[in-house]
Structure 1
Amino acid sequence: MALKRLFAGTASRFLPRTDVVNHAGGVAYAYGPEAKLAQLAATGSLSDGFYSGAEAQLDDVLAAAADVSPEFVAKAAVYARKSGAMKDMPALLTAYLTTADPDLAPCVFGRVIDNGRMLRTFVQIMRSGQVGRRSLGSRPKRLVREWLEAASIQRLMAAATGNDPSLADIVRMVHPGPASAERRAFYGWLIGKPYDFAALPAEIAAFEAWKRDTSLPLPPVPFEWLTAHSLSAEQWGELAGRMGWQALRMNLNTIARSGAFLVPGVSGTVARRLGDAEALSRARVMPYQLMVAMGQVGDGVPLDVQAALEKALESSLAKVPVLSGNVVVCPDVSGSMSSPVTGYRKGASSKVRCIDVAALVAAALLRGNRQARVLPFEFNVVSLKLDPKARVAVNAAKLAGVCGGGTNVSAPLALLNRERAKVDTVVIVSDNESWVDPSRNGATATMDEWNRLKARNPGAKLICIDIAPYGTTQATSRADILNVGGFTDAVFDAMARFASGQTRDWVEIVNETEV
């Protein structure tokens, strides 16, 4: 019998040929210009990844932006910020537009630069020279000045936390015009110039008084200003009731070490705040943030607070689609998935790994469809039994506990073909850096196996969730294949729309974004 791969059937010969080698050395398909920019915008954090450095990622996104229209750059920036809750990439694309299309930039700036951290990031990028200039320039300077002049004192105080550049640096750069004596005094206080103490905002005046006598009531200023000083357990308990939701989630162990949970009423207040549905929505909380928070809480955090985190996790999964029919979810558990999902940053790497995100997506989809099969893979499919009735965090932890080996994206599809399984939807969650499986007939093994599966299941759809900004895929997009990048609620929405036939393409979803 002749070797099958040399004498493939007609269907296999018409599969698209690979056109790029990925970072792991395997053959792959390059995303089209618009899809590549959308994927980078939704997953990139300008940090070192498992396979490539931050510099390469920056070069990739600027090259991708140059290959598409400024209008699509604008839509990608707004989509990444508003739907994907990304930070660095939307700011970079906004800065890019100040030179690529100065008339379009103000519209995007107003949608993307929505808080002080984003403002500082935008200014930092503009001054770096990476988008073609080392100064703000007249129009960007006007945009920053208008942001400052329109911001409330409370918003400016929130923006005054952080450096490189600090808000004081930015004020010195753009010279905003103070519209009132209060605003003039605030700017003077901020940048260390003479000011009228009597005209200071009441919050700043109270802070200055508190610094002189910390027995006074805590002033209503950003909690970071206060935690730079020694605080009592009671004062920490008060802060726990007023800091932002995300800050509360991130400081639970610190609050516990301060002894605040021993103060009557504090644990109940914190538990209620963590479980508040409206606060969850405002904070744009991502399920993986809650899963990791649950895994990091120490013994000093009370059980009712831990229970509130779990309740919040379940609530945050409300947007996960319930995919009908025979659903197979395939999380990549190979070695590269152990890298931080937002990349490596010295002293600031996220504890959330790519494997954690893949595991959570799989566990969440299993919650919606308890008949779904979960096929973790690395070199081969990993045998692992999950309880569909178990808590999402429990199943996610089981999956995340399996991490190692090479990447073989075609492995779960090959298994389904050997079983001649009936399939309606396959969801693969991976960094797409497959290299174990060889190419076949000029196509990836993933495309070849999917083609075989489609021959038996003509209506089947493949959804590939790409959670790393490497710019290649193992299954090229077409009517039955969706490549979508990211790890936020926006991805769940894209999955639901594709599975229900509302859209055929992720680029189409980004193009619907209003600027």
Structure 2
Amino acid sequence: MANTQLFQSLKGKFLPPANAVNAAGAAAYAMSPRHRLAQYAATGCLNATFYTSAETQLETVWELCQDIDTCFIAQTAVYCRERGYMKDMPALLTAILAAKGAPELTRTFKRVIDNGKMLRNFVQILRSGAIGRKSLGTRPKKLVQAWLNQASEKELLAAAVGNAPSLADVVKMVHPKPVEAWRESFFAWLIGKAYDAEVLPPLLKALQAYKADRTQALPNVPFQMLTALELTDVAWAQIARQAGWQMLRMNLNTFARHGVYALPGMTAIVAEKLRDAEAIARARVFPYQLMAAYGAANEEVPVEIIEALQDAMEIALNNVPEITGKVVVCPDVSGSMQSPATGYRGSATSAIRCIDIAALMAAAMLRKNPASVVLPFEVDVVACKLNPRDSVMTNASKLAAIRGGGTNCSAPLARLNKDKTKADLVIFVSDNESWVDATRRGATATMREWETFKQRNPNARLVCIDITPYGTTQAAEREDILNIGGFSDDVFQIVADFAAGQLSAAQWVGEIQSISI
């Protein structure tokens, strides 16, 4: 008779041994340079996270780009801007292309630098010296000039809000030579030089008129250009009517403070704007931004507005797919997940934590796949009763309220194995910094437990969604294991395609490589 103990102990020897150490100091698997860059690009915000500093992230991305061809760098920049809606990282990758003199720079610039904020980010990075130069260079300078000379008046006014550098600084750096009289006057006004008031563009002319005479109509300009003025509640109500979707979401408390909701009909107007499906799509909103607005709304914000935010969340998550088979979602609720999702940025630090995003993803999957099992984990699996019929916001709030300790990524799989659970897809949403279950040699505990799970569920697949970029994973890449990064809603479709067998484990990087530059 075979020695069962012997064969049980040998089973783990056929798994790939861990070949790296994660940020928490435990055994892990290293990703390929392309996969690491993809992870950083889709999740990195160039701010300090729980385990690493902003400087370390920047240095890592710069080093990775030295050994990766410029075509893939360009594809990654476009991917994380157009599908991940990131800001700092795509601007950085575009600046790296500029520093390298890459032939893909012009085409990438036109797709990534799609508004004034991105333009200022790009200029700031190049001028900082962080990527080896402090001047723009001839080609980048011409690209910036072209953006300034082609942007509409509305785009230029939006770009004029913000500093370090300001749009005026950028204009002084590159000296655009406009052919239209209105644009020449706009730039002169912007940098404090003499200008012809008669040929100012309409919105700027209206702003100047309103400053001189408050009986004039409120101009439809970025509200930051008006807040230094003494505005009435009626003027603030007009700002709310004119506001873009993101501006509206971010200033619900401000409108309450200025008496907007007390005016007849304004609560209904704001609520309808918030739940406008087309406006939500145009705003390219992160679902977690809605969660932030929901959590930040104070008692002065009417209930109708709060309900509209919940409606907006359901609309924003319309593309969360239904997945055939049984799904298990494992959100990490450990201590490191309490850190800000976009890193520590001093007074500008986001109120949204990594745990909020993990909870939101789990709640969204549960809403679309009501038979799903949700296993929040830290040192062990944590009990949390959820109702699939509750709103995504309600269930996400329950999960996010858990405050755990250490990270043990193998705990949910161990629970599934103990209960002999059958499932087709297991999804982890974590920072992958497991250390409670650290192994001294051989495979990680997560890989060992996954192998045991596969004995009962041979066709099952595992997806590890990394919320923060540290470049390692607890589950080695193979046909049945997919490691992806990011917290945009694009991730949901990639998960669904992988679960349906339409993507191989390597195809997250393949998705990026499929982008035409």
- TM-score, structure 2 length as denominator? 0.97
**What is the match of residue 372 of structure 1?**
372
Greater displacement, 210-219 / 497-506:
210-219
Cα separation, 2, equivalents of 1:507 and 1:202:
46
Q: 1:173 to 1:455 in 2, by over 3 A?
A: same
**What is the match of residue 511 of structure 2?**
509
**What is the match of residue 442 of structure 1?**
442
1:52 and 2:43 aligned: no
Cα separation, 2, equivalents of 1:371 and 1:491:
20
Cα separation, 1, equivalents of 2:4 and 2:426:
26
Asked if the contact 1:13/1:441 (under 8 Å) is kept, the reply is: no
1:431 Cα shift?
0.4
Q: Provide, for residues 229-254 of structure 1, a one-character-per-residue CA deviation record: whole Å limited to 9, x for no partner.
A: 22111111000011111110010000
In the TM superposition, structure 1's runs of 4+ consecutive aligned residues that sit over 3 Å from their partners are 3-11
Q: 1:212 to 1:464 in 2, by over 3 A?
A: same
1:104 and 2:96 aligned: no
Cα separation, 2, equivalents of 1:478 and 1:5:
27
1:67 Cα shift?
2.3
Q: How does 1:350-389 map to 2 (within 5 A)?
A: 350-389=350-389
**What is the match of residue 470 of structure 1?**
470
3-state SS of 2:139 partner: helix
Cα separation, 2, equivalents of 1:100 and 1:28:
32
Q: Provide, for residues 189-226 of structure 1, a one-character-per-residue CA deviation record: whole Å limited to 9, x for no partner.
A: 01011111111112212211211222322112211101
Cα separation, 2, equivalents of 1:174 and 1:473:
44
Q: How does 1:409-448 map to 2 (within 5 A)?
A: 409-439=409-439, 441-448=441-448
1:158 and 2:158 aligned: yes
Q: 1:228 to 1:7 in 2, by over 3 A?
A: farther
Q: Provide, for residues 298-343 of structure 1, a one-character-per-residue CA deviation record: whole Å limited to 9, x for no partner.
A: 1211222221111110111111121221211100000000000000
Supply the RMSD in Å over aligned alpha carbons: 1.5
Unaligned runs of 5+ in 2: none
**What is the match of residue 496 of structure 2?**
496
**What is the match of residue 201 of structure 2?**
201
Asked if the contact 1:334/1:406 (under 8 Å) is kept, the reply is: yes
3-state SS of 2:29 partner: strand
Whichever residue aligns with residue 149 of structure 1, its letter is N
Cα separation, 1, equivalents of 2:457 and 2:353:
34
Q: How does 1:38-117 map to 2 (within 5 A)?
A: 38-117=38-117
- TM-score, structure 1 length as denominator? 0.97
Cα separation, 1, equivalents of 2:380 and 2:161:
48
Whichever residue aligns with residue 508 of structure 1, its letter is G
1:303 and 2:303 aligned: yes
3-state SS of 1:429 partner: strand
Between Structure 1 and Structure 2, how many residues are aligned?
513
Greater displacement, 250-259 / 490-499:
490-499
Cα separation, 2, equivalents of 1:5 and 1:301:
63
Greater displacement, 64-73 / 308-317:
64-73
Greater displacement, 277-286 / 193-202:
193-202
1:66 Cα shift?
1.7
1:477 Cα shift?
1.2
**What is the match of residue 34 of structure 1?**
34
Cα separation, 2, equivalents of 1:236 and 1:480:
54
Cα separation, 2, equivalents of 1:204 and 1:508:
46
Cα separation, 1, equivalents of 2:6 and 2:154:
69
**What is the match of residue 254 of structure 2?**
254
Q: Provide, for residues 235-278 of structure 1, a one-character-per-residue CA deviation record: whole Å limited to 9, x for no partner.
A: 11000011111110010000001001111121111111111111
3-state SS of 2:348 partner: coil
Q: 1:451 to 1:441 in 2, by over 3 A?
A: farther
Q: How does 1:446-465 map to 2 (within 5 A)?
A: 446-465=446-465
1:440 Cα shift?
6.6
Identity within the alignment, %: 55
1:5 Cα shift?
9.8
Whichever residue aligns with residue 472 of structure 1, its letter is T
Cα separation, 2, equivalents of 1:351 and 1:509:
31
Cα separation, 2, equivalents of 1:481 and 1:9:
23
Asked if the contact 2:70/2:102 (under 8 Å) is kept, the reply is: no
1:10 Cα shift?
4.1
Asked if the contact 2:18/2:441 (under 8 Å) is kept, the reply is: no
**What is the match of residue 312 of structure 2?**
312
1:446 Cα shift?
0.3
Cα separation, 2, equivalents of 1:235 and 1:401:
39
3-state SS of 2:242 partner: coil
Whichever residue aligns with residue 317 of structure 1, its letter is L
